């Protein structure tokens, strides 16, 4: 899922020609992938993808229903590696 993102670009963006048909469903899939991941590098890539997806498709994704979850992660030491992205 996160391979759609060009993380070498600054700022990261979706690779040329990649089309996301159902952004709201992709958003949900990425959130679940983050929640079950224990790898810090993978979590950062997922968050980068979530950020770019919301930036590009916020109108189709709508209100972030899981905002409380993301805000609670900021307080947890085990997620220090991605606090900046969470903000």
The answer to whether residue 1 scores a pLDDT higher than 70 is no
Interacting residues of 51 by C-beta distance below 8 A, sequence separation 6+: 12, 85
pLDDT 10s digits, 18-29: 788 889 998 998
The pLDDT value recorded for residue 12 is 67
Place of tokens 């991605």: 82
pLDDT 10s digits, 28-68: 988 999 999 999 988 988 888 888 889 888 999 999 899 99
What's the half-sphere exposure (Cβ side, CA atoms, 13 Å) at 56?
21
């Amino acid at each position: 899922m996160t391979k759609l993102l060009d993380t070498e670009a600054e700022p990261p963006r979706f690779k040329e020609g990649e089309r996301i048909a159902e952004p709201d469903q992709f958003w949900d899939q990425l959130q679940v992938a983050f929640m079950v991941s224990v790898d810090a590098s993978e979590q950062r890539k997922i968050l980068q993808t979530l950020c770019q997806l919301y930036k590009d498709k916020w109108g189709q994704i709508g209100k972030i229903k899981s905002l409380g979850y993301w805000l609670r992660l900021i307080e947890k030491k085990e997620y220090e590696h991605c606090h900046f992205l969470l903000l």
